[in-house]
């Protein structure tokens, strides 16, 4: 009888455990104050540049909570505009708010810089191009220089694509990689494109992620390498990388690491920055906010968030030719 009683006790205790569930999720809400508060919290605890951007994020909280309390409860457009306004204070191209009806974006990081890119002028150079994966390529200057244009690191290419491009450029003295107006994309593609220009595995930068809610809670720096072990074909002749202010995010990382490649020169305008790797999170209203989350550095442990200054600064002034491509041709020829 005692055994039976023990068994019943054990079963009863196990049943009670199912009552342990606590409501830990954030409930869906369109309330402006709740959403501004949640957005502020996400940035405060997860954004990696709160300190370095020099923004007084605590005062932003008070200002925008006060504004939110005056908003009507069911006006998503007004709430979106207010959230976007708050995020704009960070002046970061990686900070966006995604909603079904709009996407917030910040333009202050490129507004004051020259465009340094003209798609129509570029067509003069890309006349007889081929396309391998997402890479446009052709030869310039009487087939003596190879030219590759890569418009987005979001578009993939393969090792076979690079193999055929390098094969087509076998007789060239040098190579131009044009990543102007390339807004970034997949960081893996940036490493894949850079690796053939390195003769050995080499540190090309560092990154660190947040480890706590404090503005300065970061992990130790972790080295990033240009990995040559999977490279099928290597380029040993001069290479010139063209960039402008719209060379952003993964493109900025590519430009940064190419500074440490063998025989590489960076030409054009200051790159766009966006060194912080972005991540996303959801707000109580279901909108997604994207923000810089992982800090990235160059090999000298300098933050690349503000962009890379090229070895040769060139601005486009001519209306009948691309001055930056011309400068690259001149550099390779010399």
- CA-to-CA distance for 47 and 63, rounded, in angstroms? 19
If one asks whether residue 1 binds another protein (CB under 8 A), the answer comes out as no
Examine residue 281 and tell whether it contacts another protein (CB under 8 A). Answer: yes
Whether 189 contacts 157, CB under 8 Å: yes
Question: Tokens representing 302?
Answer: 């300098």
Tokens of 258: 């190419």
Q: How far is the CB of 332 from another protein (least distance, A)?
A: 34
Supply the minimum distance, in Å, between the C-beta of residue 153 and another protein.
13
Q: Which residues of 36-66 are buried (b: 16+ CB within 10 A; e: fewer)?
A: bbbbbebbbebbbbbeeeebebeebbeebee
With respect to another protein, which residue has the nearer C-beta, 217 or 315? 217
65 lies in the binding site for another protein (CB under 8 A):
no
Q: Please, which of residues 40-59 interact with another protein by CB under 8 A?
A: 46
Q: Are 84 and 43 in contact (CB under 8 A)?
A: no
Which residue, 22 or 111, has its beta carbon nearer to another protein? 22
**Residue 79 and residue 86: Cα distance in Å, rounded?**
11
Among 282, 309, 315, 321, contact with another protein (rule: CB under 8 A): 282
Radius of gyration of the chain (CA): 25
Please write down the long-range contacts of 81-85, taking CB distance under 8 Å and 24 or more positions apart: 82/32, 82/36, 83/35, 83/36, 83/39, 83/283, 83/287, 83/289
CB of 284 to another protein, least distance (A): 7
Judged by beta carbon, residue 30 or residue 168, the one nearer another protein is 30
Site for another protein in 222-251 (CB under 8 A): 222
- Restricted to residues 82-111, the positions that interact with another protein (CB under 8 A) are 98, 100
Q: Return the SS3 of 103.
A: strand
Residue 9 engages another protein in binding (rule: CB under 8 A): no
**Spatial distance between the Cα atoms of 316 and 305, rounded to a whole number of angstroms:** 24
Alpha-carbon distance of 234 to 17, in angstroms, equals 61
| Stretch near another protein under the rule CB under 8 A, chosen from 68-76, 106-114, 272-280, 306-314 | 272-280
Separation of alpha carbons 200 and 14, rounded Å: 59
Q: Which is nearer to another protein, 282 or 315 (CB)?
A: 282
In whole angstroms, give the CA distance from residue 157 to residue 232: 14
Q: Please report whether residue 17 would count as binding another protein according to CB under 8 A.
A: yes
* Minimum distance of another protein from residue 199's CB (angstroms): 25
Q: Nearest approach, Cβ of 64 to another protein (angstroms)?
A: 19
Contact 188, 156 (CB under 8 A): no
Helix or strand holding residue 177 (H, E): strand 174-178
Between 25 and 320, CB nearer to another protein = 25
Residues 18-37 that bind another protein (CB under 8 A): 18, 20-22, 24-28
Asked if residue 293 binds another protein (CB under 8 A), the reply is yes
Give me the least distance between CB of 17 and another protein, in Å please: 5
Does the footprint of another protein cover residue 220 (CB under 8 A)?
Answer: no
Considering the complex, what minimum distance in angstroms separates the CB of residue 278 from another protein? 5
Instruction: Enumerate binding residues for another protein (CB under 8 A).
Output: 3-4, 7, 10-11, 14-15, 17-18, 20-22, 24-28, 38, 46, 98, 100, 187, 209-211, 213, 222, 277-282, 284-288, 290, 293-294
């Amino acid at each position: 009888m005692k055994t039976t009683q023990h068994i019943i006790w054990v079963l009863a205790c196990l049943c009670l455990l199912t009552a342990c569930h606590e409501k830990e999720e954030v409930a869906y809400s369109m309330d402006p104050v709740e959403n501004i508060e949640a957005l502020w919290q996400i940035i405060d605890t997860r954004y990696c540049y709160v300190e370095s951007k020099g923004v007084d994020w605590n005062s932003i909280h008070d200002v925008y909570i006060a504004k939110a309390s005056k908003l009507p409860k069911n006006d998503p457009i007004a709430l979106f505009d207010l959230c976007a306004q708050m995020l704009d204070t960070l002046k970061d191209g990686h900070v966006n708010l995604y909603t079904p009806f709009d996407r917030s974006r910040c333009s202050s990081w490129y507004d004051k810089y020259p465009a340094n890119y003209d798609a129509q002028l570029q067509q003069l150079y890309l006349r007889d191009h081929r396309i391998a994966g997402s890479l446009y390529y052709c030869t310039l200057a009487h087939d003596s220089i190879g030219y590759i244009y890569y418009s987005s690191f979001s578009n993939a290419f393969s090792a076979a694509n690079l193999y055929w491009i390098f094969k087509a450029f076998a007789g060239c003295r040098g190579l131009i990689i044009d990543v102007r107006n390339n807004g970034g994309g997949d960081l893996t593609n940036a490493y894949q494109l850079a690796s053939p220009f390195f003769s050995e595995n080499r540190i090309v930068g560092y990154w660190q992620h947040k480890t706590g809610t404090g503005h300065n809670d970061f992990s130790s720096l972790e080295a990033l390498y240009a990995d040559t072990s999977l490279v099928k074909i290597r380029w040993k002749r001069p290479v010139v990388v063209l960039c402008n202010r719209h060379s952003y995010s993964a493109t900025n990382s590519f430009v940064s690491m190419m500074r440490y490649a063998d025989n590489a020169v960076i030409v054009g305008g200051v790159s766009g920055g966006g060194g912080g790797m972005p991540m996303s999170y959801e707000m109580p209203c279901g909108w997604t906010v994207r923000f810089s989350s992982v800090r990235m550095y160059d090999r000298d442990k300098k933050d690349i968030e503000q962009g890379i200054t090229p070895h040769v600064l060139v601005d486009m002034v001519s209306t009948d030719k691309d001055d930056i491509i011309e400068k690259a041709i001149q550099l390779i020829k010399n």
